[in-house]
Each structure stands twice: as C-alpha cells, then as structure tokens.
C-alpha cells in the first residue's frame, strides 16, 4: 500500500512486490493519505474529503475501507484534523493523530463490527508537545510514536494505553547535536521487538533499525537523498521505504 499523486491528486494504491496488479483503492476528488492495513481485509486512511463521494469540504478525517466489500466508512467525526491512522493487526483498535485538543496528540478507539467506533476516543499521549506517527506492535500490546517533547523529534514506545512512555533515541540527540528521529515501525524478529525509523543524524534522512532495548543499532541506507517511512515485512527480515534518490 502506498500513496501517490500519479492521477492528479493523492490516492492510495496497492500492488504486488514485483510491481504487478497496480490498483487505485480510493479513487475520488480529494486527497487520501497514510494507508494502514489490517489482515488484508480493512484499510485505514486519512482523507480531506467530508463526503463519501470524495467531495472536499473540510479538514482531514479517518476512514475505513473494507477490501472485501468496497464499503468506505468515516470513522472520526471531529471538526479538526485527524491523520496518520494505525490499525492493529487484529483489526479491533485504531490509533490516529488529532489536533482536537489544540495540539497534535495520539488517540485510540475500538473498531466495531460495522467499521465504526466501538468505544470513545482515548488520548494516549496527553502532552503539550506534538506527538505523531503512531504504530502498533504486532501483538497490539505496545505503541511507538514520534514526539518533540524532549526538544528534538525522538522515537518513543509506550504501553497500549499510553502509559510508561520511553524515549528510545535520546542518545542520538546527545551524540549528534540535536538530530531528529521519526516514522517508526515495529516488528518481532527472532523473538525480539525491533524498531525501524528515519534519522537526520548524518545530515540527511536515512533509515535505521535497532531493538527496542537500545541494542544492535544498524544503519540501513547510505546516500545523499531522503530515505524515510520504513515498513517491515511480516518476518522482520526486510522492509520497504520511501526514497527521493530518483527523480521524485
């Protein structure tokens, strides 16, 4: 799953790893972004449409699309901006970023059988700084996110209810004079939890990974272009990422 403006506005597409079976999943007149897939059945995404036919009339919200039936449902109803949804692997809980409290926080809600909310939104971060880029662990027990609460952007990990947040990349800032780390993704690899993320510690954005206990740090990309938004494969043996090393 990825977002592209190849048809004139941002849409969400899917394709096989070899580039075949390219399909536009969200064809409409508005901008659709930030895809998050659960079990090849439900796609969560953000969109600045406010009607199901794609008419753009307001701020962004979170939508759910059933890949079995093609049904699209609006999940959030706030008047502000909701973006960057993250759906659990089990498909029963959704995290997203919202500015409904005045600054960007991460909220979570349960997902019901009809793809609507099954619980009230809970503010997981509740901090005066910005919190963004949520992603669930494969078992749904933890959540990673980006925050600038310690000055620069860092990767944090917390329990699923937002408790016990831990800054995983504080050492990057101390060693590299205010570097920024963003766009985490979590995977279980050989029984250990691993986080992929992007950092500008080298002067441009590159992709790194490490275990969530801070060990076994690896730099995965080395070039002069922007490399960002890593997404692990199911086994944690490989990941895909966005890069501007070509023409765009």
The CATH number linked to 244 is 2.120.10.30
Q: Is the pLDDT of residue 57 over 60?
A: no
Domain assignment present for residue 227? The answer is yes
For the chain, where are the alpha helices, taking DSSP H only? 170-175
pTM of the shown model:
0.91
137 three-class SS? coil
Domain assignment present for residue 215? The answer is yes
Q: Is the pLDDT of residue 64 over 70?
A: yes
Q: Is the pLDDT of residue 121 over 60?
A: yes
Looking at residue 171, its pLDDT comes to: 75
Q: What residues form DSSP beta bridges with 13?
A: 2, 24
Cβ–Cβ < 8 Å for 147, 136: no
The three-state (H, E, C) secondary structure of 79-90, written as one string = CCCEEEEEECCC
Indicate the average pLDDT of the chain: 90
Domain assignment present for residue 51? The answer is no
Domain assignment present for residue 110? The answer is no
Q: Residue 174: which domain range?
A: 124-248
Specify the number of domains making up the chain.
1
Q: Using one digit for the tens of pLDDT, what is the confidence trace for 217-231?
A: 999 999 888 999 999
Domain assignment present for residue 29? The answer is no
CA angle 50, 51, 54 (to 5 degrees): 95
Domain assignment present for residue 9? The answer is no
Cβ–Cβ < 8 Å for 75, 115: yes
Domain assignment present for residue 102? The answer is no
d(CA 52, CA 80): 18
Question: How many CB atoms are located within 10 Å of the residue 101 CB?
Answer: 13
Looking at residue 52, its pLDDT comes to: 56
d(CA 4, CA 17): 16
Q: Is the pLDDT of residue 169 over 80?
A: yes
List C-alpha distances in Å: 79 to 50, 63, 76, 98.
10, 14, 9, 10
Domain assignment present for residue 98? The answer is no
Q: Which residues of 203-227 are buried (b: 16+ CB within 10 A; e: fewer)?
A: eebbbbbbbbeeeeeeeebeeeebb
Looking at residue 170, its pLDDT comes to: 86
């Amino acid at each position: 799953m990825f977002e592209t403006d190849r048809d004139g506005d941002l849409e969400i597409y899917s394709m096989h790893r070899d580039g075949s079976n390219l399909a536009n999943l969200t064809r409409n007149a508005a901008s659709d972004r930030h895809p998050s897939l659960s079990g090849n059945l439900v796609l969560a995404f953000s969109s600045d449409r406010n009607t199901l036919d794609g008419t753009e009339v307001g701020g962004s919200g979170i939508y759910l699309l059933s890949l079995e039936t093609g049904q699209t449902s609006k999940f959030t109803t706030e008047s502000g901006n909701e973006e960057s949804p993250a759906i659990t692997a089990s498909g029963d809980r959704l995290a997203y970023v919202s500015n409904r409290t005045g600054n960007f926080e991460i909220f979570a809600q349960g997902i019901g059988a009809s793809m609507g909310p099954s619980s009230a939104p809970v503010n997981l971060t509740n901090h005066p700084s910005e919190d963004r880029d949520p992603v669930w662990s494969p078992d749904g027990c933890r959540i990673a996110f980006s925050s600038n609460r310690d000055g620069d952007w860092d990767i944090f990990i917390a329990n699923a209810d937002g408790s016990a947040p831990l800054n995983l990349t504080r050492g990057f800032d101390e060693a590299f004079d205010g570097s920024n780390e963003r766009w985490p993704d979590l995977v279980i690899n050989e029984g250990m939890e691993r986080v992929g993320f992007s950092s500008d510690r080298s002067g441009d954005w590159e992709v790194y990974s490490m275990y969530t206990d801070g060990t076994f740090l690896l730099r995965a990309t080395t070039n002069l272009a922007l490399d960002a938004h890593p997404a692990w494969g199911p086994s944690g043996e490989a990941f895909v990422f966005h890069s501007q090393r070509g023409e765009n």
